[in-house]
Every structure is written in structure tokens, then in C-alpha cells.
């Protein structure tokens, strides 16, 4: 994470604006999306891959009690955010809007890089994080870079982390895009 500007002010800004900017982006999405059948199908599949990655990752998290190093965490330190990126990219494909794509490309790193930096500082204080971080890439998996951690997927963790909300959002947004496609 060296080289990422993550001043305390930037982290506070990111934390404060993460949800409101998401709502503003969603409103813009409702107006600017122009789906086509082919792009809707392709985008929904990419988004579904992101949803699956998020769901799988959520089943390995024991927040604040254990460092997640198994499952998707053995390939990337941030599978939830990578899943969010795939979800966003999929729905951007489906939306067919350069304005939305440009906004997403600016907002996603501005919001999530400071959040990731803050979370990693917490993990370094609480757990044996450095060996794990040295082996596993920050975001995108790399060939030959895998951590052999312990842990299993638990539905209880998935539910406790309320990852089902992402599934509800996926279905709602997909229904909106289908409706928008049918009614145009």
C-alpha cells in the first residue's frame, strides 16, 4: 500500500462520503442507464461473479476475532472489495453509460483505497498481518501468490455479515434494468 495517499483527513472523508456518494451514484444510474439485451446479459454475468465472490468471502470473516486467510482471502487481501468492483463493473456494462463509467472509475479508488489502508492498519495492530500481506496481493490475485491459511466457509458468518443484502441489491437492480429495457 506504499504510495497511496491515505492521510487521516482522506480516511475520514472516505468514511463520511462512502454511503452518500453511493446513493448519489445510484440516482444518477437510474437516469443515465441505457441497457441493451446483450449488454444486460453480459453485465449481469460479470456482476453475478462479483456477487459470488463477495458471498464466498463473507462466509470466511470473523470480524475482530480472527484474521481471514482462507478461501478467497488466500488469493487477495480484499475479496469483498474486489467483488464490489466486479459488481460495479458488471452493472456499468449493463448501463451502457460512459458518464457512469468515468464517475465509477474516479469514485471507487477515492473511496475504497483509504478504507483499505485504514482496515489494514487495524489488522496490523490486532493480528499477525505482515507475513500474510507479504504473500497475498492487495487486490488482484496473481499467479503463484497464495497464502495457505486455515478456515472454512460458514453460512452463519455469511448471515452475520449480512451479505444477503448484496444479493437483494443485485436482484433489485437487475429487475430495474429489465424493466427499463422493456418499457423503452
What pLDDT is attached to residue 80? 96
User: Rounded to 5 degrees, what are φ and ψ at 66?
Assistant: -150, 140
Query: Coil, strand, or helix at residue 75?
Result: coil
Q: What is the span of the domain harbouring residue 95? A: 8-183
Q: pLDDT-based confidence at 2, cuts 50/70/90?
A: very low
Specify if 55 maps to a domain.
yes
57 contacts: CB under 8 Å, gap ≥ 6: 68, 71, 72, 73, 79, 80, 83
Distance CA 84, CA 65 (A): 23
Mean pLDDT of 127-152: 91
Distance CA 38, CA 40 (A): 5
Which of 5-9, 108-112, 173-177 has the weakest average pLDDT?
5-9
Q: pLDDT-based confidence at 1, cuts 50/70/90?
A: very low
What pLDDT is attached to residue 4? 46
Specify if 145 maps to a domain.
yes
Say what the pTM is: 0.87
CA atoms 26, 29, 35, 41: torsion sign: negative
Specify if 120 maps to a domain.
yes
What pLDDT is attached to residue 8? 65
Neighbours of 159 (CB within 10 A): 12
Specify if 3 maps to a domain.
no
Whether the per-residue pLDDT at 137 is higher than 90: the answer is yes
Mean pLDDT of 153-172: 93
Specify if 2 maps to a domain.
no
| Domains: count for the chain | 1
Mean pLDDT of 30-46: 96
Amino acid at each position: 500500500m506504499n504510495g497511496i495517499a491515505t492521510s487521516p483527513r482522506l480516511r475520514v472523508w472516505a468514511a463520511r462520503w462512502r454511503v452518500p456518494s453511493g446513493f448519489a451514484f445510484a440516482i444518477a444510474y437510474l437516469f443515465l442507464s441505457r441497457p441493451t439485451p446483450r449488454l444486460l446479459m453480459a453485465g449481469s454475468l460479470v456482476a453475478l461473479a462479483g456477487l459470488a465472490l463477495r458471498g464466498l468471502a463473507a462466509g470466511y470473516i470473523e470480524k475482530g476475532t480472527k484474521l481471514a486467510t482462507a478461501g478467497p482471502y488466500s488469493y487477495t487481501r480484499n475479496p469483498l472489495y474486489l467483488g464490489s468492483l466486479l459488481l460495479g463493473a458488471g452493472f456499468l456494462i449493463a448501463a451502457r453509460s460512459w458518464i457512469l463509467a468515468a464517475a465509477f472509475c474516479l469514485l471507487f479508488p477515492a473511496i475504497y483505497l483509504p478504507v483499505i489502508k485504514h482496515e489494514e492498519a487495524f489488522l496490523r495492530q490486532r493480528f499477525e498481518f505482515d507475513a500474510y500481506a507479504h504473500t497475498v496481493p492487495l487486490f488482484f490475485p496473481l499467479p503463484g501468490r497464495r497464502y495457505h491459511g486455515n478456515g472454512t466457509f460458514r453460512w452463519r458468518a455469511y448471515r452475520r455479515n449480512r451479505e444477503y443484502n448484496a444479493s437483494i441489491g443485485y436482484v433489485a437492480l437487475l429487475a430495474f434494468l429489465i424493466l427499463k429495457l422493456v418499457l423503452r
